[in-house]
Amino acid sequence: MALKVLPAGIAADHKAFLRFMREAKTAAQLQHPNIVGIYGMGVESNVPYYSMELVEGGEKRAVAQLRTPGEAGTHEVGRFEGRP
């Protein structure tokens, strides 16, 4: 299992908190072999979180290179590396 948390300083912003929880609810509704499953969500000590399936593997570039033609390649994965 993996956890995604929203740091307390950011969670203090009500809009950021709602956006994070909406992300968790939306992700939980998706079912696809290439999307991790969401197990649950909650708030502990004022820190919102959601738990998800843990995917074992290497770094993004190595995984992207293993994909079949027509799927996201290294250049497409790299496009997202600088995003927060």
Question: Which run of H or E residues covers position 14?
Answer: helix 14-29
Write out pLDDT tens, residues 20-76.
999 999 999 998 888 889 999 999 988 999 999 988 776 666 555 555 555 444 334
Euclidean distance between CA atoms 35 and 48, whole angstroms: 21
- Every domain of the chain with CATH number 3.30.200.20 lies at 1-53
| 3-7, 62-66, 75-79: range with lowest mean pLDDT | 75-79
Whether the CB-CB separation of 32 and 73 falls below 8 Å is answered with no
What are the backbone dihedrals phi and psi of residue 78, each rounded to the nearest 5 degrees, phi first? -60, -30
What pTM did the predictor assign?
0.63
CATH of the structural domain 1-53, one choice from 3.30.70.270, 3.30.1360.20, 3.30.200.20, 3.30.70.3400: 3.30.200.20
